[in-house]
Structure 1
């Protein structure tokens, strides 16, 4: 067949997606941390030889968008003959050296050779439970420089021509409080890129290297054309938004939409923080890519071409383009803030495409200590479910992860209780007021973790705690995200950000995530829908009478 045969090109493209899915399955089946094998806090993908995203892969949207940026750093760094050879595997976790996110997230990448040259890269990323640093779990709001957040892997080689570089693996293990778990998760990631590389070699051999490479490039061009076609349908002009954050900072965004370009200007924003609430420019680009994809072509796979119309403007030394060695541990909350202000900026102009505000926080909850049964260190890293905003078509979804986190899963109570030193007493929908409207915002959750041992710790970082999810067209705001620590004696404290808080036996850590924002005047809500809400216990009749005017 000719390399331009569209059927062959489509088969190759689908094979790339199938390969990324298989890589994802390998990690899920072989990882040691529940954050990976249960929550699926990971992503897999395939790039071309230059590091351009060829297949959007599988996993967390914000993770998949990281992989091509990491591979591009590797390609640039290892640019001499012999630097990259068959069987090599590379690692990076440092946001200043291709890691994009934070030190807990290790990216593993492998070059794929066929026809005597590199034809692609397979890559993955996953959150690791502990990579050292000043605090268990490697995340703390008290960090003032990245050196305190864990071991830095600045785009290095861990396997050379198929042989493990033992000293590198030893350094990784000795810096972790959970060395066997970390080693197991890294090897799961290595197994994943290896199986992916094997599959791509088979595909290239079957159809020919030139046809394989042409398939990738042609689908990037196709992705660009699809984006440009949909971009032309969006309202044109410049749209701006300023929004106060929970910590008092003002974040600003200016989006200009042309027929062929989508410009996001974030230069007018605060300087980088002395604490770990910063992000990298690449991380902000991921946020811009997610909102752009949502607006243009949300249902098809993404590749490098899909995002060519994006032009991102940031300022070095700002919170959205931190300068080394700024700490960056809670980067995900800052990227979510960027994602959310872009969403809010455009939602009032495109309500048919964008819903009202959601709980918009990972609500990352880190609980750890010494397991009372095994005597070993344990650390839970748990993103939380929350409420999504209402749209013009209906009520928002309840108990769904944030857009940053995508289609992942909460860790089952049985796994948490078996692996970690706590009990899960309850998880139920959040019945706090908030999110009422013609269509209502989805419900967040209330989840209780009861601690089984003394001298444990809690670290958490929630945003949208002071300012709940925003509403549209006369709807009501949602409710806040927060965590409450209820001591055995009945006293309690409420937090949005807390680091290393000491916990004891029978303390309860109560996670409360927000309801999404409503849309439309609550008085216009369908009476049958109100009665159904009352029947399902989502609202009392007294409150329904107050909000919706139900008799």
Structure 2
């Protein structure tokens, strides 16, 4: 993935004109897809993209709604080149949906690829991707939580021709459409994707021809080099060193470990997942290019929105994923959700490690963008199917499951129903209820922001969605759920509490409510029953006891949470008029801090005879933790915590609280690292009981003290 910078002379004005033109061409292809496709997943939810690469498959530009498709399509192009190099001609169009062989983010996100020729020379590729409602396999929609091998999930194609020299390869279409449900709909959507490749390829070829080969090639490379140079400069602002994060992926009541070690050296970043759990017979095994696609989507949308998103941004970054693990699986491991559970967690671990580096880097321009973990790891996508009057089956994929509450950041509460608060345009779109009720046999009872105090902090998280509907006009609807964060919620930052969990419930007309496992299939919903989804949220930023009391009172007035929750979590007491009683609040918060320390385990080790914190030599080590030469201190109280190179949390009191538990297996806890003098929370993590701490920030200026 890494490459050397070339001595490329860049004319910024000409390059910006070129960038605008190629972005317009990519968007033109994306709009053709939207206007010629049929399924609401594409036309309403906007789950599609168009990508343009250079002749070797390096990203030039992408268009459409789903940014994380772009790098995945590059992998598909490169796999196609490896298989067909020397035989590719104008008019060829290729199809791929096998992640084990470079085929997109998961089998339903098909990749359709068209080479772009100018005067018989291959100059670029146009690749498009969109979610197909079904690609075969053991369940409708091809998301099969109970699959144990990839052959059960879908029909899978390595790179193959679907058009040869401009004509249908009828054998391909026959095999594919014979193995999918709703074949007419799938075929119409696929032909809409082909139309999108045609529109962008024709316009791009005209652009390349008008510029001439030398100017065209130097513009493509110049665009990539400009992005790489600026990416390396921004990474270079971060403190060299090692930053570690870890978590678990959950499935039913099992937990699979993922660690991430970020090493920053100069202007490069290496993410190493050594120690990740071995691949399993679960549908969420993933691949390195999928994790890289998702990480860069998260990273770019937060920190480099002003830069062209092309292959140059990937050049300074390397992902090391051990083969045969859940982050780099081998066939026949199932991976129809390879872009979700494992990939989301692995990509977000990498992003959290970057956040630790930013928090320890006083000279980084990215400090103003400190924000909690990405909300994508909390999405709750579900799929529903039913029989129509003629016996044919229809289906609905609930993109509403993307409406996770965003984590809080350094200067802002998290947004409601939006996954991420900072610099982020939501991928896809959420259809109007009226559109869904006109297309599908559903009657919606509510779609609103979920209430609750979870994700508390000095800055709090936003709320996820709460959605409830019932069947209408059919005998039954069969449900498949594929979600995350039932027991292991999204964590906060700087002492903020973790977010809410995910809950699916069926309220039976003739029985008690039935809480579903978040990864299940075959649940039947009948007329009179209500299906409800409560989506999670990200975590808070900073200790909840530091939140401005008047803001807590406003949250109560807007019914975000109740008076008792405000007192228990935020330590805020209201007067008779519903305003914060500052005197009573101060007393209540002091009680909570005292109680925390009384219930906590004393520090493992604190240095003796340490000098007082010296503001003149202070630099941040973490949010709320300061380094002064060879010692770490609580920034607020000045209490010494550790002497380099020990982990600063060795000097913290530790409070561990059990969470809602699985009925069997390992137990989950929330662990707070407290200032031993005041009880303030400096960091909060969610871990399995007995597990070591899940984070480390070790910049070289800390680990090298005294050497």
Normalising by the smaller structure, the TM-score range is over 0.9
> Would you say the 8 A contact 1:30–1:188 is kept in 2?
yes
- For 1:313-332, list aligned pairs within 5 A: 313-331=320-338, 332=340
1:507 lines up with 2:514 in the alignment: no
Give the distance between the partners of 1:518 and 1:274, measured in 2 at CA. Answer: 34
Alignment map for 1:103-118 (pairs within 5 Å): 103-118=107-122
Distance, in Å, in 2 between the alignment partners of 1:468 and 1:405 is: 23
Map of 2:634 onto structure 1: none
Q: Structure 1 residue 427 and structure 2 residue 451: aligned? A: no
Deviations 1:451-499 (A, max 9, x none): 2333431111111110222122232221101211222214222221112
Native 8 Å contact 2:10 2:222 kept in 1: no
State the match for 1:465 in structure 2.
486
> In the alignment, which residue of structure 2 is the partner of 1:90?
94
Q: Deviation digits for residues 54-77 of structure 1, max 9, x if unmatched?
A: 113332122122111111111111
Give matches, 1:470-481, under 5 Å. 470-481=491-502
Query: For 1:338, which of 346, 349, 361 is the aligned residue?
Result: 346
Alignment of 1:378 with 2:384, yes or no, is no
Match of 2:297 in 1: 290
Match of 2:385 in 1: 368
CA gap of 1:514–1:277, structure 2 versus 1, over 3 A, is same
Q: Does the CA contact (< 8 Å) of 1:465 and 1:482 recur in 2?
A: yes
> Per-residue displacement from partner, 1:353-407 (whole Å, max 9, x unpaired)?
3312354233111111113x56531111123111111111110011014799943
Deviation at 1:506, TM superposition (A): 2.6
Please give the per-residue CA displacement for 1:105-127, whole angstroms capped at 9, x wherever unaligned. Answer: 11011111113201111111111
Equivalent-residue separation in structure 1 for 2:157 and 2:528 (angstroms): 38
Secondary structure of the 1:274 match is coil
Note if 1:254 corresponds to 2:258.
no
Give the match for residue 646 of structure 2.
none
Q: How far is the alpha carbon of 1:242 from its aligned partner?
A: 2.5
**Distance in 1, Cα, partners of 2:233 & 2:160:** 40
Corresponding position: 1:232 with 2:232:
no
Compute the displacement of 1:160 (Å). 1.1
Contact 1:122 1:197 in 2 (8 A): yes
CA–CA distance in structure 1, aligned partners of residues 425 and 485 of structure 2:
16
* Deviation readout 1:436-461 (Å, 9 max, x if unpaired): 22111010011013123334311111
Q: Distance in 2 between matches of 1:98 and 1:214?
A: 28
The alpha carbon displacement at 1:502 in A equals 2.5
User: CA deviation digits over 1:295-348, x for unaligned, max 9?
Assistant: 752332211111111121111111011101111011122111112222333434
Aligned mates of 1:295, 1:309 — CA distance in 2: 17
Q: Does structure 1 residue 450 correspond to structure 2 residue 456?
A: no
Query: What is the CA-CA distance between 1:231 and the residue it aligns to?
Result: 0.8
- CA–CA separation in structure 2 for the residues paired with 1:292 and 1:256: 16
Following superposition, the deviation at residue 515 of structure 1 comes to 2.4
Q: Does 1:50 align with 2:56?
A: yes
Cα distance change on mapping 1:292 and 1:390 into 2, 3 Å? closer
Q: Is the 8 A contact 1:104 1:131 kept in 2?
A: yes
Partners of 1:75 and 1:113 in 2: how far apart?
14
Q: What is the SS of the residue equivalent to 1:248?
A: strand
- TM-score, normalising length: structure 1: 0.94
Counterpart check, 1:550 vs 2:558: no
Give the whole-Å Cα distance in 2 for the aligned partners of 1:258 and 1:249: 30
Q: Are the equivalent residues in 1 in contact too, given 2:104–2:110 (CA < 8 A)?
A: no
> Where does structure 2 lack aligned partners over 5 or more consecutive residues?
1-8, 360-366, 575-707
Q: Are the equivalent residues in 1 in contact too, given 2:379–2:535 (CA < 8 A)?
A: no
**Deviations along 1:482-531, whole A, 9 cap, x unmatched?**
21122221422222111222332232221111122111222322233223
| Equivalent in the alignment of 1:392 | 410
Find out whether 1:245 has 2:249 as its counterpart.
yes
Per the alignment, residue 119 of structure 1 pairs with 123
- Does residue 526 of the first structure (1) align with residue 548 of the second (2)? yes
2:18 aligned to which of 12, 33, 36: 12
1:36-55 Cα distance to aligned partner (Å, 9 max, x none): 11111122110011111011
Q: In structure 2, what is the Cα distance between the partners aligned to 1:231 and 1:346?
A: 10
Q: Residues 263-282 of structure 1: matches in 2 within 5 Å?
A: 263-282=270-289
Residue number in structure 2 paired with 1:413? 433
In 2: Cα distance, 1:5 partner to 1:475 partner: 46
Q: Alignment length, in residue pairs?
A: 546
2:505 aligns to what? Answer: 484
Match of 1:199 in 2: 203
What are the residue-to-residue correspondences of 1:66-85 with 2, within 5 Å?
66-80=72-86, 83-85=87-89
* Aligned partner (choices 5, 25, 31) of residue 31 of structure 2: 25
1:99 shift after superposition:
0.7
**Alpha carbons 1:12, 1:212 under 8 Å: kept:** no
CA distance in 1, matches of 2:538, 2:82: 43
Instruction: Identify if the C-alpha distance between structure 1 residues 4 and 277 changes in structure 2 by more than 3 Å, giving closer, same or farther.
Output: closer
Measure the CA separation in 2 of the matches of 1:480 and 1:280: 26
Question: CA-atom RMSD, angstroms?
Answer: 2.1
CA contact (8 A) 1:462 1:482 kept: no
Instruction: Say which is worse superposed, 465-474 or 156-165, in terms of deviation.
Output: 465-474
Mapping for residues 145-224 of structure 1, pairs under 5 Å: 145-224=149-228
Cα distance between partner residues in 2 of 1:41 and 1:135: 21
CA contact (8 A) 2:468 2:530 kept: yes
Is residue 88–residue 161 contact of structure 1 (8 Å, CA) maintained in 2?
yes
Separation (CA, whole Å) in 1 of partners of 2:492 and 2:291: 24
Q: Name the structure 1 match of 2:358.
A: 350
Q: Aligned to 1:464, what secondary structure does the other structure show?
A: coil
Shift of 1:17: 0.4
CA offsets, 1:173-214, max 9 Å, x none?
A: 121110111001100100000000111122122222321222
CA distance in 2, matches of 1:350, 1:414: 44
Higher relative contact order (CA 8 A, sep 6+): 1
Distance 2:83 2:109 in 1: 20
**Inter-partner Cα distance in structure 2 for 1:491 and 1:412:** 30
- Determine the C-alpha separation between the residues in 2 that align with 1:300 and 1:117: 29
3-state SS of paired residue (1:441): coil
Q: In the alignment, does 2:427 pair up with 1:441?
A: no
